Amino acid sequence: MSDPTAPNNTEDPLEPLEEQPSEELAKAYDPTEIEARWYPIWNEAGVFGASAADTLEGEQPPYVVMMPPPNVTGTLHNGHALFVTLQDILVRYHRMQGYNTLWLPGVDHAGISTQAVVERELRRHEGLSRHDLGREVFIERVWEWKERNGSRIVEQLKVLGASADWSRERFTLDEQCSRAVRTAFVRLWDEGLIYRGERLINWDPVTRTALSNEEVDHEERAGELWQFAYRCSDDSGEIVVATTRPETMLGDTAVAVNPDDERYAGFVGKALVHPYFPDREFFVIADKHVDREFGTGAVKVTPAHDPNDFAIGERHGLEVINIFELDATLNKNGGPFAGLDRDEARKRVKADLTVRGMARGAEAILHSVSISSRSGETVEPMLSRQYFVSAGPLAEKACAAIDELGQTEIIPAGWKSTWDHFMKNIQDWCISRQLWWGHRIPVFYERAGLESAVREDARRRGEQTVALSALESGADTRELLQIALDSLDEELVRGFSTASIDDLCAGPDGDRYLQEDDVLDTWFSAGLWPFSTLGWPDETDDLRAFYPSAVLETGFDILFFWVARMMMFGCHFMGEAPFRHIFLHAMIRDSQGRKMSKSLGNAIDPLDVIEGITLEDLLIKTRSYPVPESLLPRVLEGLKKDYPDGIPASGADGLRFSLAALAGQGRDVKLSIPRVAGYRAFLNKIWNATRFALMSLGGARPQPLSETKGDLSLADRWILSRLQAASDRVAAGIEGYRFDEAANGIYQFFWNEFCDWYIELVKESLGDSAPEARREAARSVLIEVLDASMRILHPICPFQTEEIWQRLPGRKERWAGADGVDVVFCATAPFPVADDSWRDDDAEREFDFIIRVVTRLRNLRLENNLPPNQRIPAILCSESHSIRHSVTELSDSICRLARLESLAVHSNDGYEIPQQAAVGTDPDFIVVLPLEGLIDLDAERTRLAKELATAQKQLDGFEKKLGNPSYVERAPANVVAETRERAQRCMESIAASKASLARL
RNA sequence: UGGCACGUAGCUCAGUGGGAGAGCGCCGCCCUGACACGGCGGAGGUCGGCGGUUCGAAACCGCCCGUGCCAACCA
């Protein structure tokens, strides 16, 4: 298909395509080859770049999406694939609409995960811990790791086609983001919205750091409610308590009962004996928190290791005894059990109390256990000094932005109530982490100030404090700092921290100043993402042009981790919510609805879907996952059964289309490979339809539609009208975040309308026997529909559409210069806007008749067991002039589609049905196949009887309605009229069927 | 315990007040001029149950059953 009229543009990167036309396309669809080619071409051509100036000068409205930064340790999983697909659809769609589109990408430093990965490597390869290296060297190592591996996830996003502006890529720990973090911290500190305080926090004994509440998962587990007795010190009796954690009794400082509980009325105020610490003050107290029905109705109180007990302790002024080291082994307060791990301690405490005769039985219980989402270990509540953000005032602003200012809308709206519940009950946010990799908390202590504060503290208390002893014994500065921070009042600490942070961070004077050891929660920097990436705190052009963004698209699982924090920080620091829409997509699950996880062995690697994988490799890969031994055989058998031929390569386009089609709102996305294969078949269909079209053009450059408008056939007008509906449907789907609608819209149009009907019909018009004008018109419609279809599909399947679009003759010239843009890509061509002048209701109605006629005829043929190749004559009778007219116009095509020899058209009384004939009825017409000697009488009788029964059932329904006076009276007139009409036509069908039956 | 979803064909789901739909799977026929990753035709559903509102309910309301998610409690 060498095109002699094409300009000989030697700079065109696509020139090879134009040189090897239909032969090239004649090959089967191969996504791998196509997809490797286009991404660098777009990227280098600057297709993905945004320009602040264009918006600030009023030329182009912005459309901005902040990419949720994947973890630097991450490898591509389906969650990434889903968010990239959905966001890229939004971004590409708006880019094609002419918006100044910015999709800002980046990577998260992922504090705990990254540190853990590097520590593991260090241990494995060098047998060292991070403490062996020291903080500075270790952090250097992490940066080295990041330089080596950190771009992997980014490259994988590109494989998916992510059209992000990589020139603006950010890392949460780069200098720009770090400065934003320091600034934000200091402002919040100065405003009193960050404080340092001693609270009961969630301690992860494995990673040895505090966690925020959101980082703790709750899991139902079978446990044991174990009972034991405390003796009264006056030997007047005992009180039995129930617990799931017997070892914490070592930190008990009271037993609480409900004040209204008569059973224990006599005990309140009595002293108890702690079996291991007989000197401990230990009383029975009354507190209404205690549930009389649960357990024994008496609760052991461990203020240091249980949030409720902590609260009780505060109310009653109880002593708080921490019994754990940071790794959850018992400290010296564990008495005889000191040094034991908490699980071992539990066994030993139970055994020992049993020996002492204090055990009082046990019952099984299902209770929820707090698990660290970081390490999977049981979280230990610990009393600890940490930094907190006062979330209340910030949450109020975030809620006001939604409820009062209407700046942001949550979609789907169902999440609003979850949001409200969380935000109204929000707890202060623990932001300090005992890690090294992250934003070190920008709090500095002046040594001189510290020393005087220690002396002041000691003087005030009138005693030799621990800190003072340390100072006097010449402890080094850092040790002194630690001791001082643990023992000084918060006010004193505040007094000598300093706020000239940037200078200090640039080069702190180690002798004079000491910086806080802890780093900030990863989500602190993530919370600043919508503006730290644009240059905040500086008033940059980017910030002015691109804040706030259009939509924040992410999974609902990080609504509170991330979205809420961005809303709070955005409203607080920028004075305006960071996005207009919050769109929350569902979770990806396997085809049975289970969460995908490597340890279940059901995780599908998106790259395997894109590139394909053999069964053999899939099995090898799954064996490397941490699947429990007991499960593994079943998992492998399942894979062999589900993927006997492995997973076929569907390309990024195939995966993207599948994810879009499956992403119905408010539902989990159940990813099934057969389903993906089905959508991949759609892309193959497109490929082949294009091959047909290009072949039919035979190298000719089609005329624009405007030239052929006068020669359009019914089918031409029909498909052009349907095209408008399709572009509307897809646009509405994308704009309404109904990606399934968008995908189905183009799928149905292209396959069921364009391929199944239009292309089949147009073959007639393209043939040698058709008049030249007819052929010209058909070609221009073919190319127009393909062009528009590729542009409609482009946001979902960018690679294949670009490949095909570039090959359509005359396309680039046609769209170059539109909107003053030099368009050379499908990616930057305008998204088709439905044009009402091409809508044609008459054509749609008439063509619908053609579809019904052909379907009826095909049905008749098959039900009468006619050989497929046997050409036979047919007759159509209808009272409707327009049906007769349309059918006559397209009778050649109908003959082809229904494999007829001829098709005669009559009015109902213009034709007498012969004795032996198959008759198909429709409310608007009947079709007849005269089958003298051919008809399968039994088959035809069965068919007619069935047809009759269906029509009769329908008619019964209509007549029942029409026989109901209140229906006729109350239902809208047009509804009643329509029912009457349909009943009438039903009766005619029935009459025709009966007559046919009688004839046989 | 509370909140929110969901329950429609074998499977996955669309359909929010007037004719029960799609994809895959299944059955039958066909390599019909791009496509067997294809074409054509077909079978298959008391729309979870009960009650209510309405001339009319898969859809709206109430209750029940079932499933899932989130949150709280959990001595």
For position A466, what pLDDT does the model report? Answer: 78
Answer whether any strand B atom is within 7 A of the Cβ of A479.
no
Nearest nucleotide to A309 (CA to C1') is B75
Looking at residue A578, its amino acid is P
A206 or A881: whose pLDDT is higher?
A: A881
Strand B: which residues 882-901 of A lie within 7 A (CB)?
896
Q: Tell me what pLDDT residue A448 has.
A: 76
Neighbours of A422 (CB within 10 A): 15
- In this model, does residue A990 exceed pLDDT 70? yes
- Give the helix/strand (H/E) hosting A171: strand A170-171
Mean pLDDT of chain A: 84
* Strands of A392-515, DSSP E: 409-411, 429-430, 432-433, 444-446, 497-498, 513-515
The nt closest to A370 (CA vs C1′) is: B74
Nearest CA to A554 out of A572, A531, A529 is that of: A529
Q: At A661, which helix (H) or strand (E)?
A: helix A651-662
Between the CA of A216 and the C1' of B1, what is the distance in angstroms? 21
- Bridge partners of A905, per DSSP, are A876
pLDDT band at A11 (very low <50, low <70, confident <90, very high): very low
Give CA–CA dist A15/A37, Å, rounded.
Answer: 13
A219 contact partners, CB below 8 Å, separation of at least 6: A368, A369, A371
- Residue A504's pLDDT is what? 58
Question: pLDDT at position A8, please?
Answer: 34
CA of A139: how far to CAs of A83, A144, A181, A273, A615, in Å? 31, 9, 18, 50, 41
Give the Cα separation of A813 and A303 in Å (integer): 77
A127 touches strand B (CB under 7 A): no
Res. A413: pLDDT tops 90: no
Q: Is this structure's pTM higher than 0.90?
A: no
Q: Is the pLDDT of residue A395 over 80?
A: yes
- A184-212: average pLDDT: 85
Distance CA A837 to C1' B69 in A: 48
Here the ipTM equals 0.93
Residue A102: beta bridge partners?
Answer: A64
Decide: CB of A243 under 7 A of nucleic strand B.
Answer: yes
Tens digits of residue pLDDT in A477-530: 777 777 777 777 666 666 555 545 555 555 555 567 778 888 998 899 999 999
Estimate in Å the CA A667 to C1' B6 gap, whole number. 8
Percent of chain A surpassing pLDDT 70: 94
pLDDT confidence of A23, banded at 50, 70, 90? very low
Q: For chain A, what is the radius of gyration of the CA atoms?
A: 37
CA distance A70 to A88: 15
Contacts of A332 (CB under 8 A, 6+ apart): A338
String of DSSP letters for A329-350: BB-GGGGGGTT-BHHHHHHHHH
Q: How far is CA A17 from CA A326, A683, A692, A799, in A?
A: 65, 20, 17, 15
- Quote the pLDDT of residue A323: 85
pLDDT in tens, A558-575: 888 889 999 999 999 999
Nucleotide nearest to A898 (CA to C1'): B40
Most confident of A297-301, A461-465, A630-634: A297-301
Confidence at A17, pLDDT banded by 50, 70, 90? very low
Other Cβ atoms within 10 Å of A318 Cβ, number: 23
What is the CA A509 to C1' B53 distance in angstroms? 78
A368 touches strand B (CB under 7 A): yes
Judge if the upstream peptide bond of residue A795 is cis by omega within 30 degrees of 0: no
User: Amino acid identity of A391?
Assistant: A
Q: For chain B, which bases have at least one atom within 7 A of a protein Cβ?
A: 3-6, 11-15, 18-19, 22-25, 28-30, 32-35, 37-43, 54-56, 70-75
pLDDT on residue A497: 58
How many angstroms separate the CA atoms of A256 and A286, rounded? 5
Q: A242 with A250: CB under 8 angstroms? A: no
Count of beta carbons in the 10 Å neighbourhood of residue A786: 22
Write down which residues 414-433 in A have CB closer than 7 A to strand B: 414, 417-418, 421-422
Q: What does the pLDDT read at residue A511?
A: 62
Residue with tokens 């819209």: A745
**Using an 8 Å Cβ cutoff, are A170 and A464 in contact?**
no
CB of residue A685 closer than 7 A to nucleic acid strand B?
Answer: yes
Q: Where are the beta strands (DSSP E) in A277-395?
A: 283-286, 298-301, 359-372, 380-389
Among residues A645, A598, A639, A595, the alpha carbon closest in space to that of A619 is found at A639
The reply to whether A259 has its C-beta less than 7 Å from any atom of strand B is no
Residue A821 pLDDT class (50, 70, 90 cuts): low
Is the pLDDT score of A122 beyond 60? yes
SS3 A236: coil
Statement: residue A982 has pLDDT above 90: no
Q: Are β-strands A579-585 and A549-555 bridged in parallel, bridged antiparallel, or unpaired?
A: parallel
Q: How far, in Å, CA of A79 to CA of A154, rounded? A: 14
pLDDT at A862: 85
Is A833:A727 a contact under the CB 8 Å cutoff? Answer: yes
Q: Name the 3-class secondary structure at A486.
A: helix
> Which residue in A67, A40, A76 sits closest to A153, CA to CA?
A76
> For residue A555, which of A76, A87, A881 has the smallest C-alpha distance?
A87
Whether A103 has a pLDDT exceeding 60, the answer reads yes
Token representation of residue A706: 């405007």
User: Residues 264-293 of A near strand B (Cβ < 7 Å)?
Assistant: 289-291
Average pLDDT over residues A357-384: 80
Indicate the pairing of strand A432-433 with strand A209-211.
unpaired
Half-sphere exposure of A926 (CA within 13 A, CB side): 29
Q: Beta A444-446 vs A497-498: how paired, if at all? A: antiparallel
The encoded tokens of residue A792 equal 């409609």
Angstrom distance, A863 CA to B27 C1': 14
> Which residue has better confidence, A205 or A894?
A894
What's the rounded Cα separation, in Å, for the pair A582 and A656?
Answer: 21
My answer on whether omega of the bond before A412 falls inside 30° of 0, hence cis, is yes
pLDDT for A131 equals 85
**Which tokens in the block code for residue A582?**
């919050």
DSSP A957-969: HHHHHHT-HHHHH
What is the mean predicted confidence (pLDDT) over A212-226? 77
* pLDDT greater than 60 at residue A3: no
Got the DSSP string for A567-609? Answer: HHHIIIIISS-SEEEEEEE--EE-TTSPBP-GGGT-PPPHHHH
Q: Which nucleotide is nearest to A685 (CA to C1')?
A: B35
User: Does residue A247 contact residue A264 with C-beta atoms inside 8 Å?
Assistant: no
Confidence grade of residue A544 (pLDDT, cut at 50, 70, 90): very high
> CA A898 to CA A92: how far, in whole Å?
42
Between the CA of A832 and the C1' of B1, what is the distance in angstroms?
A: 53
Q: Is the pLDDT of residue A284 over 50?
A: yes
* Structure confidence by residue, pLDDT tens digits, A326-349: 888 888 888 888 888 888 888 888
Helix, strand, or coil (residue A802): helix
The pLDDT-based confidence of A250 (bands split at 50, 70, 90) is confident
Tell me if the bond preceding A873 is cis, omega within 30° of 0: no
A303 touches strand B (CB under 7 A): no
Query: Region A981-989: what's the mean pLDDT?
Result: 86
Task: Find which nucleotide's C1' atom is closest to A965's CA.
Answer: B55
How many Cα atoms are found within 13 Å in the side-chain-facing hemisphere of A328? 21
What confidence tier does A654 reach under pLDDT thresholds 50, 70, 90? very high
Give the integer Cα–Cα distance in Å for A878 and A901: 20
Please tell me the distance from the alpha carbon of residue A965 to that of residue A728, in angstroms, as a whole number.
41
* CB distance A788 to A727 below 8 Å: yes
Tokens of A852: 């019904």
| The two structure tokens encoding residue A16 | 């090879």
**A940, two tokens:** 């035809």
Instruction: Count Cα neighbours of A944 within 13 Å in the Cβ-side half-sphere.
Output: 25
- Dihedral over Cα of A702, A703, A706, A709: its sign: negative
C-alpha A85/C-alpha A610 separation (Å) is 13
> What pLDDT does A4 receive?
34
pLDDT at residue A496, rounded to an integer: 57
Q: Which of A191-195, A460-464, A486-490, A840-844 has the lowest mean pLDDT?
A: A486-490
Can you tell me which residue has the tokens 């396959």? A751
Spatial distance between the Cα atoms of A129 and A138, rounded to a whole number of angstroms: 9
| Phi, psi values for residue A366, rounded to 5° | -100, 115
Query: What number of other Cβ atoms are within 10 A of residue A331's Cβ?
Result: 14
User: Whose CA is closest to A537, among A106, A177, A107?
Assistant: A177
Taking each helix axis from N to C end, the angle separating A714-735 and A739-747, rounded to the nearest 10 degrees, works out to: 170
Q: Which of A782, A830, A837 is nearest to A809 (CA)?
A: A782
A714 touches strand B (CB under 7 A): no
Protein A561 CA to nucleic acid B26 C1', in Å?
A: 46
| pLDDT on residue A89 | 96
